[in-house]
Structure 1
Amino acid sequence: MRRSFRDIHGILLLDKPLGLSSNQALQTARRLVGAAKGGHTGSLDPLATGLLPLCFGEATKLAGWLLGSRKAYEAEVRLGATTTTADLEGEVVETRPVPALDTAAIEAALAPLRGRIVQVPPAYSAIKQDGVPLYVKARRGETVDVPSREVEVYRLDVLERTTDTIRLHVECGSGTYVRSLAVDLGANLGCGAHLTALRRLWVEPFMAPAMITLDQLRAAAEAGPDPLDACLLPVAAGLAHVPRVDLDPEGTRVLGFGQPVPLGEGATPGRCGVWGADGRLMALGDVDGAGVLRVLRGLNLPSV
């Protein structure tokens, strides 16, 4: 169905289906919504399903801010084999027998993977080196030297296990690769492992997301603009986890020129959402220790 693009602003909590890349899912949703501008907040591999927040219009200015948010996943790990890609899409590199594992042995293997850890991302990843994604170099057969990085793993708990699989609940910060956690878990257990399934459950601030599938979005698009727009959250939903600052008319005027606004010593330092005197969301801002508000990303939303 051919659809004209329009200026629409909002956030779609898409339940990404299996097999699509994040960009394919974004472009499909953008065409259905008819949004002139769109972006996603952190990619999911084609193997992964679950929450992919999509930003349309002015909400795209918050996409980079949401990229660094805390995330939660449910992951299935297969023990006894390593693969080239660290998941089931790659070729098997090595197989080993899976030892008899009790709860204590698994916990001992998981413990070093929690907290602030150093992780080596998979060679088949979207991280760029000399402007080229690592997975492109790996597919060319080039030797890929993957730099390690510090990441944060807040929770890593066993949900269920069988003889050769472990299902995990993972909560982590930005830049964490669950595929690498699977590889490291297999190494700690001495039998190797790879990721066989991954579902993203939530991304801060969308902790209990009412996700929309592409089929639901198609049905809404066929029903008309009102059901379609009802699938979107307002741009302000992307700032639900930071303090709100409401400006008076003078502060609204000053901020409208991109200038700092003194809020006074009682202002809470840190990032915030900034609303003008007319009730319009104006910016993602930051308040310094002296109580001065500065714009990080200005938003050009229609008046309410």
Structure 2
Amino acid sequence: MDGILNLHKPVGMTSHDVVKRVRRILTMKRIGHAGTLDPGASGVLLVCVGRGTKLVEQLMNLSKVYRGTMRLGVKTDTQDAWGQVIWESPGFQVTPEQLQATFLEFTGPIQQIPPMFSALKHQGRRLYDLARQGIQVERQPREVQVRALRLLEISGPLVNFEVECSRGTYVRTLCSDMGDRLGCGAHLSRLERTRVGPFTLEASLTLEALEGLKATPQQLMEQIHPICHPIVPGSP
């Protein structure tokens, strides 16, 4: 059994939790994911099976699309709704025109400083482990590509948006940085990954559905994209 599963990760599970669940369902060990989704986020998670694990790097380089909600006026230590509030601006005023201008400013190649609450490593230790101990370390800015950033809806302090971006982009950092630019602070309150390359949320499979396919091996195999998938750069 070799290939790529397009799975729908639910809120509350880590990407590794999903991998462990798939290992149990398929009774295989050679399984890995191609691009972490935070526990608080949901949506498309590509899981590679068998020889498909050789494609992890190529899949991670595919463009990603997210839909999310930015909460203006509140900053958190994790840059998302799961962290502690560190700053509030209850009397802020931001116009739709200011938001549009800020979205435009953050479109294209931008510099991001990775958040402390992330899986990146410093001297062999995960940054989130250091952050939980109250330790801050210097992180160098990295260039990422925001290919499209669209304002969808404004409802009070909540701003719904869609973003298409490159590998390595932290959407919560994008929200935090835009909030700083607007002068009111912000954090990411909701995030859903709707597409990775050509793999869409509409075509994704829930873990429950995958579990249900165990009894019908042929249907299960139909859900595993072959490793020679033409849209995967560098696939054999």
Give the Cα–Cα distance (whole angstroms) in 2 for the partners of residues 169 and 39 of structure 1.
27
| 2:231 corresponds to which of 234, 240, 250 | 240
Q: How much is the aligned-residue C-alpha RMSD, in angstroms?
A: 1.5
The alignment partner of 1:235 has SS state of: coil
Q: State whether structure 2 residue 82 is matched by structure 1 residue 108.
A: no
Match of 1:87 among 80, 86, 93: 80
- Structure 2: gaps spanning 5 or more residues: none
Structure 2 CA distance for aligned equivalents of residues 215 and 15 of structure 1: 10
TM-score, normalised by the number of residues in structure 2:
0.95
Q: Distance in 1 between matches of 2:64 and 2:91?
A: 30
Following superposition, the deviation at residue 235 of structure 1 comes to 1.4
Report how far residue 98 of structure 1 moved.
5.0
Q: Secondary structure at the match of 2:82?
A: coil
Q: 1:166/1:98 Cα in 2 relative to 1: closer, same or farther (>3 Å)?
A: farther
- Displacement of 1:241 in angstroms is 5.0
Q: Secondary structure at the match of 2:116?
A: coil
Amino acid at match of 1:46: P
- Asked if 1:225 is matched to 2:217, the reply is yes
**Structure 1: runs of 5+ lacking an equivalent:** 1-7, 243-271, 274-282, 284-304
Partners of 1:36 and 1:9 in 2: how far apart? 12
Which runs of at least 4 in structure 1 moved beyond 4 Å after TM superposition? none
Q: Distance in 2 between matches of 1:201 and 1:98?
A: 33
Question: Structure 1 residue 39: deviation in Å?
Answer: 0.7
Number of residue-to-residue matches in the alignment: 236
Per the TM alignment, residue 215 of structure 1 is displaced from its structure 2 partner at its CA by 1.1
- Give 2:130's aligned amino acid: K
Determine the structure 2 residue equivalent to 1:61.
Answer: 54
Higher RCO (C-alpha 8 Å, min separation 6)? 2
Tell me how far 1:57 sits from its aligned partner: 0.5
Distance 1:208 1:198, change over 3 A: closer
Task: Confirm or deny: 8 A CA contact 2:116 2:136 kept in the other structure.
Answer: no
Percent of aligned positions with the same letter in both sequences?
38
Q: State which of 180, 185, 195 in structure 1 corresponds to 2:178.
A: 185
Q: Deviations over 1:44-72 (max 9, x none)?
A: 00001000000000110010111121100
Are 1:205 and 1:241, in contact at CA under 8 Å, matched by a contact in 2? no
- Mapped to 2, the partners of 1:219 and 1:207 lie a distance apart of 21
1:17 to 2, 7, 10: 10
Letter of the structure 2 residue corresponding to residue 170 of structure 1: V
Larger Rg computed on CA atoms: 1
Matches of 2:69 and 2:34 in 1, distance apart?
23
Report if the CA contact (8 A) 1:182-1:194 is conserved: yes
